[in-house]
């Protein structure tokens, strides 16, 4: 420390050795940089902090600055971790070559993601985030009766359709897809057996989010969607991407 | 403290933040960490690049345009829906990551790195997770820093030239001028393309002009006062950037920790149990099962995580405690990388944590890496070149082990002020 300070003051080229205009210039820069850094951190703080009087009053300033490039969310597994497995499943109404119309069985697309992640040191975002976040996007932009809320709602439907069509095979092999239907299957993760009150006799009084006795799977089934050839992404997997359209 | 004491302390502080780019090793390790993370991610996703960010992926170009027209996010991928353009941008992002990792023309490569990160991530926001979010922020913050003072090709070039350049004018920097001209031409084209917001155009043109100014001043008035003022500005911006990086890391942990405190599962000590049973976070089910079967272990890790995250920002006042917590957090992220299958998220968090590593530790790591590189070189045919190593550090820095987390930079940091810096270095 000592010699750091010595060096700090010793060089003749320090601020003190500068001419007055140069010193003023450095002072101005120092002021601007300090104010900018503090303003940035204050706005980011207001963005990540819980809503409070200050952030509510300056909401437009905060979001105007933070979005889109400084957006951030660090509620990692907080306030509570997700306590249910959400599986996205899909089925299709298909036309066979002979013109017969059938409905395929439900395909569990999330189970395929899980399979790709299993025993993989470097799972891909394609399996970890794509479908999972698309479903979050859908539920976040729709009301409880599956009606889209604003333009994001329509976008999320299109996104989900495209993901499903790029993955739904081989159930739709050698047929043409006319409509698809998507549902979610939500299965709660049971609390650990060693947890207090795991025997169901005590200790569950403060558990407000989630009923520990609920272990069954609940479904949310969306309406049938008509699909067009334009709904099939060009990046679907071989044997997985649906063929859409036709007579 | 007396008034004169305060004034003297203030003056010393001003001298330090204007005269030195503090924490050169910390800045370098953050640079290396994030460029390595993003490079690894891009290479890993190479087979999936079109599905993630390509014009005809599930999140199509037209859909991205709808969303971006609303929020104005920066991405070069909206300039064209061509596959060739997409491939160029992806490849450029790979290349700029390599260049930033090596610290080649860092003032330019850090900007290119940011352009690559923002272009890909903003193109498909729903593909990302927390790891992408950290990389996104740090890619922007790194542009502000002088993060290639050590452990970089830029530092090696400056060192090699130093003895020759003694008092004479700096040698011609043909590569620098060529790179600057090339980037200028690219900027002209980019500005003519509708889609670059005036704000971003101003940022890029500003950075480009500053490089020209710096070059001109170094070339024609290397002893002038303007050069000193510019150098001090560079130091000030670097120090502010490094401070923002450190504050951002604190914000991440504080937010993650304080929100957890409010969660009933973190309170009853069972929180860890749940991710260990989620399909998306169990690449090794048997390992998750073993971990989750012990009530003691799960409770300890659950509580430990909250304690560490909430406590971390406050431990910065005490070096020793801070270092212990840093080691705990890095270990936890290594574990997360395997157990929850989030290697790039973990790597990004470790790179962010690294800004708080003590200088002694970084120097020792650098010496070990340097020794290993030298031995490797000696074994290679034609090896043993002198003066190699991007790992070497400016003279007089060994032995100074008091520096810490960017608050106590190594004393030799002022060496850079006298050495003419390159155009984009």
Ranking B4-18, B164-178, B191-205, B227-241 by mean pLDDT, the lowest is: B164-178
DSSP B159-190: HHHHHHHSSSPPPP-HHHHHHHHHHHHHHHHH
**Percent of chain A having pLDDT more than 90?**
76
A98 to chain B, minimum CA–CA distance in Å? Answer: 30
Half-sphere exposure of B136 (CA within 13 A, CB side): 25
Query: Residue A184: phi, psi to the nearest 5?
Result: -110, 145
Residue B261, pLDDT > 50, answer yes
pLDDT tens, A169-185?
888 989 999 999 999 99
Half-sphere exposure of A74 (CA within 13 A, CB side): 24
pLDDT tens, A61-84?
999 999 999 999 999 899 999 999
Contact indicator for B24, B412 with CB cutoff of 8 Å: no
- Give the model's pLDDT for residue A14: 85
Q: Are strands A218-221 and A101-103 parallel, antiparallel or unpaired?
A: unpaired
B273 to chain A, minimum CA–CA distance in Å? Answer: 7
Residue A236, pLDDT > 60, answer yes
Mean pLDDT of chain B: 89
- Give the model's pLDDT for residue B364: 96
- Give the model's pLDDT for residue A76: 84
Alpha helices in chain A (DSSP H): 2-9, 20-48, 53-57, 59-66, 109-117, 125, 131-140, 150-167
In whole angstroms, give the CA distance from residue B105 to residue B424: 5
Residue of B17, B342, B411 lying closest to A7 (CB–CB):
B411
Q: What is the mean pLDDT of residues A108-125?
A: 98
Residue B398, pLDDT > 50, answer no
**Band of residue B403 on the pLDDT scale cut at 50, 70, 90:** very low
Ranking B161-175, B215-229, B410-424 by mean pLDDT, the lowest is: B410-424
Residue A151, pLDDT > 50, answer yes
Contact indicator for A68, B72 with CB cutoff of 8 Å: yes
Q: What is the mean pLDDT of residues A196-222?
A: 62
- Give the model's pLDDT for residue B415: 33
What does the DSSP 8-state code read for residue A85?
A: E
Contact indicator for B74, B198 with CB cutoff of 8 Å: no
Contact: A15, B18; criterion CB under 8 Å: yes
- Give the model's pLDDT for residue A200: 47
Ranking A144-153, B24-33, B133-142, B378-387 by mean pLDDT, the lowest is: B378-387
ipTM of the complex: 0.90
DSSP H or E run through A90: strand A84-95
Q: Taking the model in full, what pTM does it have?
A: 0.90
Residue B387, pLDDT > 90, answer no
In whole angstroms, give the CA distance from residue B196 to residue A73: 26
Ranking A128-132, B164-168, B355-359 by mean pLDDT, the lowest is: B164-168
Q: What is the mean pLDDT of residues A118-138?
A: 97
- Give the model's pLDDT for residue B399: 32
Residues of A in contact with B273 (CB under 8 A): 189, 191-192, 195
Q: Which of A2, A9, A15 to mutate to test the interface with B (most CBs of B within 10 A)?
A: A15
**Band of residue A198 on the pLDDT scale cut at 50, 70, 90:** low
Task: Point out which residues pair with A179 in neighbouring strands.
Answer: A93, A226
Residue B104, pLDDT > 60, answer yes
Q: Is B343 in the A-facing interface, judged by CB distances under 8 Å?
A: yes
DSSP B361-425: HHHHHHHHHHHHHHHHHHHSTT---TT--TT---TT-TT----BTTTS--GGGGHHHHSPPPS--
Contact indicator for A142, A156 with CB cutoff of 8 Å: yes
pLDDT tens, A12-64?
458 989 999 999 999 999 999 999 999 999 999 999 999 999 999 999 999 99
Contact indicator for B397, B412 with CB cutoff of 8 Å: yes
Contact: B251, A5; criterion CB under 8 Å: no
Q: Is B76 in the A-facing interface, judged by CB distances under 8 Å?
A: no
**Band of residue B173 on the pLDDT scale cut at 50, 70, 90:** confident
Residue of B259, B294, B344 lying closest to A75 (CB–CB):
B259
Ranking A229-233, B3-7, B391-395 by mean pLDDT, the lowest is: B391-395
- Give the model's pLDDT for residue A239: 79
Residue A166, pLDDT > 70, answer yes
Residue of B12, B283, B298 lying closest to A9 (CB–CB):
B12
The answer, yes or no, to whether the previous bond of B52 is cis (omega within 30 of 0) is no
Contacts of B124 (CB under 8 A, 6+ apart): B52, B53, B57, B59, B64
- Give the model's pLDDT for residue B155: 96
């Amino acid at each position: 420390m000592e010699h750091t300070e010595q060096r700090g003051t010793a060089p003749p080229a320090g601020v003190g050795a500068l001419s007055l205009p140069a010193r003023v210039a450095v002072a101005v820069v120092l002021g601007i940089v300090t104010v900018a850094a503090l303003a940035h951190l204050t706005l980011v703080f207001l963005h990540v902090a819980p809503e409070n009087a200050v952030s509510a009053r300056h909401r437009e300033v905060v979001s105007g600055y933070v979005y889109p490039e400084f957006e951030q969310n660090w509620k990692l597994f907080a306030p509570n971790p997700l306590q249910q497995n959400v599986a996205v499943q899909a089925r299709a109404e298909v036309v066979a070559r002979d013109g017969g119309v059938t409905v395929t069985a439900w395909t569990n697309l999330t189970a395929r993601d899980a399979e790709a992640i299993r025993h993989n040191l470097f799972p891909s975002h394609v399996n970890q985030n794509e479908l999972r976040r698309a479903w979050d996007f859908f539920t976040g932009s729709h009301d409880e009766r599956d009606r889209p809320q604003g333009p994001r709602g329509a976008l999320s439907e299109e996104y989900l359709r495209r993901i499903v069509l790029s993955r739904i095979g081989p159930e739709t092999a050698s047929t043409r897809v006319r409509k698809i239907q998507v549902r979610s299957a939500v299965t709660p993760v049971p609390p650990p057996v060693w947890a207090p009150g795991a025997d169901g006799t005590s200790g569950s009084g403060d558990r407000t989010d989630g009923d520990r006795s609920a272990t069954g799977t609940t479904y949310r089934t969306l309406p049938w969607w008509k699909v067009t050839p334009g709904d099939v992404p060009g990046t679907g997997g071989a044997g997985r991407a649906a063929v859409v359209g036709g007579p | 403290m007396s008034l004169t004491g305060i004034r003297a302390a203030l003056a010393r502080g001003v001298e330090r933040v204007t005269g030195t780019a503090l924490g050169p090793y910390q800045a370098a390790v953050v640079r290396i960490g994030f460029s390595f993370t993003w490079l690894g991610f891009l290479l890993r996703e190479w087979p999936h690049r079109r599905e993630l960010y390509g014009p005809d992926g599930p999140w199509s170009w037209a859909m991205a345009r709808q969303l971006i027209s609303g929020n104005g996010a920066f991405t070069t991928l909206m300039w064209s829906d061509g596959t060739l353009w997409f491939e160029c941008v992806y490849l450029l992002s790979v290349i700029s990551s390599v260049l930033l990792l090596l610290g080649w023309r860092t003032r330019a490569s850090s900007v290119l790195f940011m352009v690559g990160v923002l272009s890909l991530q903003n193109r498909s926001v729903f593909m990302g997770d927390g790891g992408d979010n950290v990389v996104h922020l740090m890619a922007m913050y790194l542009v502000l820093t002088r993060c290639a003072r050590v452990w970089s090709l830029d530092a090696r070039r400056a060192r090699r030239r130093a003895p020759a350049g003694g008092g004479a004018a700096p040698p011609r920097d043909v590569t620098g001028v060529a790179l600057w001209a090339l980037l200028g031409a690219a900027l002209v084209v980019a500005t003519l393309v509708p889609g670059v917001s005036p704000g971003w155009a101003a940022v890029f043109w500003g950075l480009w002009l500053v490089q020209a100014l710096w070059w001109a001043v170094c070339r024609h008035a290397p002893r002038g006062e303007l050069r000193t003022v510019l150098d001090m500005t560079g130091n000030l911006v670097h120090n502010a950037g490094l401070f923002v990086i450190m504050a951002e890391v604190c914000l991440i942990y504080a937010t993650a920790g304080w929100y957890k405190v409010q969660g009933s599962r973190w309170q009853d000590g069972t929180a860890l149990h749940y991710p260990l049973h989620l399909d998306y976070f169990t690449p090794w089910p048997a390992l998750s099962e073993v971990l989750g079967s012990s009530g003691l272990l799960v409770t300890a890790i659950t509580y430990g995580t909250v304690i560490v995250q909430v406590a971390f920002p406050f431990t910065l006042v005490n070096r020793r405690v801070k270092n212990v917590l840093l080691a705990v957090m890095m270990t936890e992220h290594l574990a997360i990388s395997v157990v929850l299958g989030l290697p790039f998220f973990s790597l990004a968090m470790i790179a962010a944590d690294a800004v708080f590593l003590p200088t002694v530790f970084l120097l020792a790591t650098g010496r070990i890496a340097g020794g290993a590189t030298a031995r490797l070189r000696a074994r290679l045919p034609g090896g043993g070149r002198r003066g190699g190593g991007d790992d070497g550090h400016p003279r007089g820095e060994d032995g100074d082990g008091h520096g810490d987390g960017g608050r106590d930079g190594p004393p030799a940091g002022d060496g850079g002020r006298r050495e003419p810096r390159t155009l984009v270095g």
